[in-house]
């Protein structure tokens, strides 16, 4: 049994991940009706996922039947082997919630946070059960983007990390396990580096917002949906990665130096980006476009599953 604590965007996605893999899930949220709303949202989404083979092997009604709303935190935790915490990204909230979880959950229950960037050491240090706490950071939405980053605090028991890795891979997620905690983990450090450069290119008048987006959408992103940066450069020089470094290392060093120190994202720049984006997508259509994105993601994931590397060669 899995307890999902917080049933917003991410908690709802986790419920699908675990339930479609056959696990019973209990959802708990402090906001009245929020967990029921999440279950209604899942119910509306499962048929579409099933059509693409993304709702597991059982009929959607069975998958949905595995997700229950708990009436209290204690009821959610009762008998849970794993807790996936999905409350707001506020350090004080994480500290308070983890103190509650550590006090109420069985001693061998793993307590995992979905936090996007708060290190587990910051919310688990003073807990009796701190060795069972770690970060299991998904991307949004977790049921469509399979990656989860596992980030232990210095005191997390390696057996807890391993148990979480086995659970996550067992329910179909791909894992990246960090050897030590750093702010932002791996995913948001990579994303942050790209975003800083994107902001800089627009701020310096090199390219407009649509062209920067196109460089990723029609260019870099195509490869990145099935291989990472190291494999990319390994294939982009005839002699492999060492050859790539010999040919292009100086170019990238010069580019990194040219970029200079990090710049804050100033309010004026944010306003001009907002104005530009709203011309392409009015605020009233943001939700509709997010649904469109999720559908595209589902199609891409279904395509990748049909053409898994083992099937291609
Ligand atoms: N949205 C993303 O893109 C994304 C991606 C990866 C990770 N995350 C992380 O996942 C976590 C949740 O993000 P989200 O986008 O789902 O937020 P959200 O605001 O959509 O949902 C948070 C939910 O937690 C509930 N909540 C608040 N306090 C609670 C408590 N004490 N106990 C139980 N429930 C409580 C709220 O009522 C709300 O329903 C954050 O740490 C966030 O950084 C978010």
127-162: pLDDT as tens digits: 999 999 999 999 999 999 999 999 999 999 999 999
Residue 172, sorted as left (phi over 0), alpha (psi -120 to 50) or beta, turns out to be left
* Cα first-last separation, the chain: 38
Going by CATH, does the domain composed of 2-177 fall within 3.40.50.720? yes
Which amino acid residue places its CA nearest to atom 6 of ligand 1? 139
Which amino acid residue places its CA nearest to atom 18 of ligand 1? 8
Q: Which residues of the chain are in CATH 1.10.1040.10 domains?
A: 187-280
Looking at the chain, how many residues does it have? 313
187-280, CATH topology level: 1.10.1040
**Rg (Cα) of the chain, in Å, rounded?**
21
Residue 310 confidence (pLDDT): 60
Q: DSSP strand E in 165-236: where?
A: 174-177
Question: From ligand 1's centre to the CA of 185, what distance in Å?
Answer: 18
Dist. CA 171–CA 56, nearest whole Å: 10
Residue 184, sorted as left (phi over 0), alpha (psi -120 to 50) or beta, turns out to be left
Token duo for residue 98 = 């983890």
Q: Which residues of the chain are in CATH 3.40.50.720 domains?
A: 2-177
By three-state DSSP, how is residue 132 classified?
Answer: helix
Which amino acid residue places its CA nearest to atom 2 of ligand 1? 140
By three-state DSSP, how is residue 174 classified?
Answer: strand
Dist. CA 33–CA 36, nearest whole Å: 5
> What DSSP letter does each residue of 153-168 carry, written as one string?
-TTS-HHHHHHHHHHH
Which amino acid residue places its CA nearest to atom 28 of ligand 1? 87
Q: What is the pLDDT of residues 75-114, one digit of tens each?
A: 999 999 999 999 999 999 999 999 999 999 999 999 999 9
Question: From ligand 1's centre to the CA of 276, what distance in Å?
Answer: 29
Which amino acid residue places its CA nearest to atom 20 of ligand 1? 8
Which amino acid residue places its CA nearest to atom 9 of ligand 1? 115
Residue 294 confidence (pLDDT): 92
Q: At which residue do the structure tokens 């942050």 appear? A: 192
Question: From ligand 1's centre to the CA of 88, what distance in Å?
Answer: 4
Question: From ligand 1's centre to the CA of 133, what distance in Å?
Answer: 18
Question: From ligand 1's centre to the CA of 225, what distance in Å?
Answer: 26
Question: From ligand 1's centre to the CA of 248, what distance in Å?
Answer: 42
Token duo for residue 127 = 């807990």
By three-state DSSP, how is residue 25 classified?
Answer: strand
Question: From ligand 1's centre to the CA of 197, what distance in Å?
Answer: 28
Residues lining ligand 1, judged by CB closer than 6 Å? 5-11, 28-31, 34, 86-89, 93, 97, 114-116, 137-140
Question: From ligand 1's centre to the CA of 85, what distance in Å?
Answer: 8
Out of 11, 37, 87, mutate this one to test ligand 1's pocket (max ligand atoms within 8 Å of CB): namely: 87
Residue 308 confidence (pLDDT): 77
Dist. CA 76–CA 94, nearest whole Å: 17
For residue 34, the ligand 1 atom closest to its alpha carbon is 39
Residues lower than pLDDT 70 in the chain: 310-313
Dist. CA 7–CA 32, nearest whole Å: 11
| Cβ count near 66 (within 10 Å) | 20
């Amino acid at each position: 049994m899995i307890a999902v604590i917080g049933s917003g965007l991410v908690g709802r996605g986790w419920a699908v991940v675990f339930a479609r893999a056959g696990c019973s899930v209990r959802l708990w949220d402090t906001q009245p009706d929020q967990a029921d709303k999440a279950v209604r949202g899942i119910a509306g989404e499962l048929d579409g996922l099933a059509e693409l083979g993304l709702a597991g092997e059982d009929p959607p009604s069975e998958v949905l039947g595995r997700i229950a709303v708990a009436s209290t935190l204690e009821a959610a935790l009762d008998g849970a082997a794993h807790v996936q915490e999905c409350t707001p990204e506020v350090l004080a909230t994480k500290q308070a919630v983890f103190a509650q979880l550590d006090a109420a959950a069985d001693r061998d229950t793993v307590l995992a946070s979905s936090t996007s960037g708060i290190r587990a050491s910051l919310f688990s240090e003073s807990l009796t059960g701190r060795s069972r706490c770690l970060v299991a950071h998904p991307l949004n939405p977790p049921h469509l983007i399979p990656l989860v980053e596992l980030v232990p605090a210095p005191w997390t028991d390696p057996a807890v990390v391993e148990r979480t890795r086995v659970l996550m891979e067992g329910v179909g997620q791909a894992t990246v396990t960090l050897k030590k905690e750093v702010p932002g983990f791996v995913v948001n450090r990579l994303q942050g580096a790209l975003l800083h450069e994107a902001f800089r290119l627009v701020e310096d008048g090199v390219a407009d917002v649509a062209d920067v987006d196109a460089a990723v959408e029609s260019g870099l992103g195509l490869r990145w949906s099935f291989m990472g940066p190291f494999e990319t450069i390994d294939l982009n020089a005839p002699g492999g990665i060492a050859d790539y470094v010999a040919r292009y290392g100086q170019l990238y060093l010069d580019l990194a130096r040219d970029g200079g120190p990090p710049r804050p994202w100033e309010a004026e720049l944010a306003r001009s980006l907002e104005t530009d984006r709203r011309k392409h997508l009015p605020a009233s259509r943001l939700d509709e476009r997010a649904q469109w994105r999720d559908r595209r993601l589902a199609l891409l994931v279904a395509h990748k599953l049909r053409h898994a590397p083992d099937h291609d060669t």
